[in-house]
Structure 1
């Protein structure tokens, strides 16, 4: 079947593509000129602020109102800081402080950083209520486990970002916080009545709508009572019925990456997932990170074919393209009128916020001059491999990195050679190996623990000190090292 060029161009206006590397390939620019809504940038696209500004200017040269999106949440999910860690603590830290004015300031600063780099759509904030403590994908990306707390910080974050001329996108509707599986890898199920969602998961999205969020991202999660057998991204009841009709959202509905197993796996492929998402009410389709010209055109052609054979109403496609164009116009106008000085100094604000979030129990002075032991941990697909820990701020202290499952307390005591030991980890309590290692070490030797993941009530008996940073940002590592007396004037500027 021959594809109608007009329908293909209309379909392109609903797609956020991506490309590898620090410069834009010709096809990425050509597709923008042909009508592509925009591109999502990832850590692999970012080398430094000057390079990023050149890249976004090049993209805009193909079409001035292109949407240029990024996942910049601060904390553990950062693209601007993917080489060093974010200078801002993330949502868990801001929720622990529980000062919406501080949250607004941090997100305003992030917004100015993004605007200066040429980004006009931030796929943030994460507004999921992290009610499942073992949640593998949300955790410290959440403001907390209390719906009211998350709601008030949601509004502050959105106001901050958008005051800097960057569109905010609240995610992941209708709430990814109660899951114990990762939608990047499979289709999670939240088996709860809609009334539970209304009281537990949805208040932050109501706050996002009230704050004027320009976009909301759908989740690839299944809520049987609401979405049936498929994910919310494919559910008209969730997107049109709940988000638009009940909660009054009139902005752009963005999908989470369609390459994820929770979407592509449920639909039989990315092009098929795109059609189902549009039919359900989504407007802007985030394809994912691994994208090339052929994939973009295959998706656009599948959308055009779906209109031709009746799987997708032409009016629905036109509506989505129109909403995306309105968002692009807002972003272009706001960019023109935004202050020319762009970025603000982030270090001082980030450290101030991280200090307020830091919880210190016990006596850090009791572990002066320690051997620092960082427990190796994996990373989620959302986070990527971002540096974390205390290493940039150790001064003359020694650090070793070890897997907990291959290390004993006796080995660490021998390596310490009379020094106290500071264990640094993320969710130390969650894995049996790291928990047992910490408990045996603390019972036998002067030791402290620095928890940089989602916190818990667990404490190893005998520990001299226990520090909770509520996240693993660069700023959080700095203030933890500072509290342990490791930061000197020489390394304080790191």
Structure 2
């Protein structure tokens, strides 16, 4: 016996699915006609603007009021420019510049690009306060370590995005910035009292609620004083008592991807995670990136079963589906376009570069790019100075496995420019830099979160606050190496 059609449609109305490839398969469109709230697009779904416009048109043929979501943060997290790197700097660079008007302009430009392609929900901005230099998943996705500065720029980003008719989704509530674990792989714990969260992590969320943000994304983090042994995604104390009652948020609560270990492992699978999130007060459930028709049906079946046996209250699920529908209906009313200034992102990235030391005289250097793994959030996006250089040799090195003597031999009389991401926490990187700088003129370019470490003996330390295409071009220009 099949599912009750009315309950199945209700359950589907709370789900944000995904599909593989550049062309939506029939099942992905059919599910929209049957009530699915929408789909999230990832890099594998993106080839070029014409294809993207065709994709969103195909999805709207399934249902006109579909939610088409994407993670487009600028900086290190981009789906539209995953093949080349984003033409916009990310949040850390914008926070370093500390010009809220610029932040609003950059996010308005991103929003205009998304709206033109038919995308109406951006799973951005990240409004976490990155207070842990060792944070492996937030870092340059954050506007900084100061709650006041992060709050100001978070609000500016929301206003910019939503001025283009694209709903913003502030993430990750109640704050992922103090973690030293990645919730894609495990459940991080932030063991602090609520008073610390209110002072350190929550001011940006208060600011975006005041700015009218349409959606807030949950964090798969454990805050024992509030969430007990489970993640915030499953906590009514977080999603209802704190976010809705204390902070007055009335929009849609979206979960981070339920396929992530921080949620799925805590619940015993994606389906049970969906039920627990809905019961806690979430409205729109992001299933994840690796989704097929069977998984969507499985999650819908779990929700219907919970409605049938009383684990979920029907009024709660109707409220969730209603908020998801309201979110879709709230998009598309863009303000009159004023146009994006030419080169906005590159000019912003240039303003963010910080130089400690002397970067003159870097004629035809040996550029050493130190390998850095990407996070799941970032994906494998090209980075570095290579595409922006004129007359410089680029070699790649693995910290901890590369002989400094070999790099010195390759450099000869030339200076060395060593480029890395998060060098302060990359095993072997500090030792490699210090060994090279002991006998050679070395300039270090840090394209990740900089931390407090500075190399011994280096001629200069350059911080870009991100590794987007724009950040790379800006660094090459500051070093006098741009082609």
Determine if the TM-score, normalized by the shorter chain, exceeds 0.5.
yes
Alignment partner of 1:323 is 2:318? no
Shift of 1:431: 2.5
4+ residue runs of structure 1 moved beyond 3 angstroms? 344-347
Conserved 8 A contact 1:258-1:288? yes
CA deviations on 1:230-263 (whole Å, 9 max, x unpaired) are 1000001100110000000000000000000011
CA distance in 1: counterparts of 2:403 and 2:444, whole angstroms: 16
Alignment partner of 1:195 is 2:195? yes
1:244 counterpart residue number:
244
2:435 counterpart residue number:
440
Alignment partner of 1:477 is 2:472? yes
Shift of 1:429: 1.9
Conserved 8 A contact 2:27-2:293? yes
Alignment partner of 1:371 is 2:366? yes
Which residues of 2 match residues 98-113 of structure 1 at below 5 A? 98-113=98-113
Which residues of 2 match residues 218-297 of structure 1 at below 5 A? 218-297=218-297
2:421 counterpart residue number:
426
2:97 counterpart residue number:
97
CA distance in 2: counterparts of 1:182 and 1:150, whole angstroms: 21
CA deviations on 1:274-320 (whole Å, 9 max, x unpaired) are 00000000000000000000110111111011011000000000001
CA deviations on 1:64-116 (whole Å, 9 max, x unpaired) are 11000000000001111110001000000011111111100110001001111
Alignment partner of 1:400 is 2:404? no
1:491 counterpart residue number:
none
2:345 counterpart residue number:
350
1:460 counterpart residue number:
455
Alignment partner of 1:449 is 2:444? yes
2:379 counterpart residue number:
384
Normalised TM-score (structure 2): 0.98
SS in structure 2 opposite 1:131? coil
Conserved 8 A contact 2:399-2:427? no
Greater alpha carbon shift after TM alignment, 365-374 vs 71-80: 365-374
CA distance in 1: counterparts of 2:442 and 2:223, whole angstroms: 44
Count residues with an aligned counterpart: 483
Conserved 8 A contact 1:368-1:484? no
CA distance in 2: counterparts of 1:323 and 1:400, whole angstroms: 51
Conserved 8 A contact 1:88-1:347? no
CA distance in 2: counterparts of 1:197 and 1:357, whole angstroms: 28
CA distance in 2: counterparts of 1:372 and 1:346, whole angstroms: 32
CA deviations on 1:298-349 (whole Å, 9 max, x unpaired) are 11111011011000000000001111111111115x2xx565x79x557610
1:141 counterpart residue number:
141
Shift of 1:396: 2.1
Conserved 8 A contact 1:76-1:383? yes
Q: Gaps spanning 5+ residues in structure 2: where?
A: none
Alignment partner of 1:48 is 2:48? yes
CA distance in 2: counterparts of 1:115 and 1:254, whole angstroms: 20
SS in structure 2 opposite 1:185? coil
Which residues of 2 match residues 145-156 of structure 1 at below 5 A? 145-156=145-156
CA distance in 2: counterparts of 1:346 and 1:188, whole angstroms: 41
Q: Gaps spanning 5+ residues in structure 1: where?
A: 489-494
SS in structure 2 opposite 1:361? strand
SS in structure 1 opposite 2:172? strand
- CA 1:338/1:59 → structure 2, altered by over 3 Å: closer, same or farther? farther
- CA 1:368/1:81 → structure 2, altered by over 3 Å: closer, same or farther? same
CA distance in 2: counterparts of 1:307 and 1:163, whole angstroms: 38
- CA 1:234/1:10 → structure 2, altered by over 3 Å: closer, same or farther? same
2:66 counterpart residue number:
66
SS in structure 2 opposite 1:365? coil
Greater alpha carbon shift after TM alignment, 454-463 vs 381-390: 454-463
